[in-house]
Amino acid sequence: MRRRSRDERFLAWLRTSLVVGLYRQLFELNLINTYGALILTNAAFTLAFAIWILRGSLASIPTEVEEAAALDGASRWQVLRRVMLPLTLPGLVTATIFTFIAAWNEYVVALTLMVDDDRKPLTVGMRADVTGYEQHWDQLFAASVIAVVPVVILFAVIEKHLVGGLTTGSVT
């Protein structure tokens, strides 16, 4: 078994400390065991990365494109909807898929914040199939396949935009 480095141990300690503080704040707001708590924490954890991806995507579009649309008589809303949004679609798709996968695979916060077994996400609920006394490998593998299906479907739908979105904004 590989020993964890000092940096890995520090990051594990930092995540644990963050979850303790997060639990305390959400307990004070009476949000423990609610889907709102998971939505708020996942949004907070992934928002900075999504903004960073979208900023690179928007920065790669020349301002002349926006000015040309405005000269053609388009309003600010029309420029955004008809010109800028289609041009930033690869970056938007990239931010969407990374945010979705990060929220879908999140384990520690959901395990801490959700108390009822009926409300726990699938990724957290799967651990009940393997305990110290009995292992239900068939149920664990079935749940694993079910957990992978939404990610595979999302990737199949938007994979043509993903490669373009990963390289958008890389050269400024």
Segment 44-99, tens digit of pLDDT = 888 988 999 899 888 888 999 989 999 999 999 999 899 998 888 888 888 888 88
User: What's the length of the chain?
Assistant: 172
d(CA 85, CA 90): 10
pLDDT of residue 128: 75
Percent above pLDDT 70 for the chain? 91
pTM above 0.75, yes or no: no
pLDDT of residue 64: 92
**Residue 38 burial by Cβ neighbours in a 10 Å radius (0-12, 13-18, 19+):** buried
CATH class of 6-167: mainly alpha
d(CA 32, CA 27): 6
Q: Is the pLDDT of residue 171 over 60?
A: no
Q: Which segment of 69-83, 100-114, 118-132 scores lowest on mean pLDDT?
A: 118-132
pLDDT of residue 30: 95
| CA nearest neighbour of 22 among 109, 124, 119, 114 | 109
pLDDT tier, 40 (very low <50, low <70, confident <90, very high otherwise): very high
Who has greater pLDDT, 31 or 165?
31
Domain boundaries, the chain: 6-167
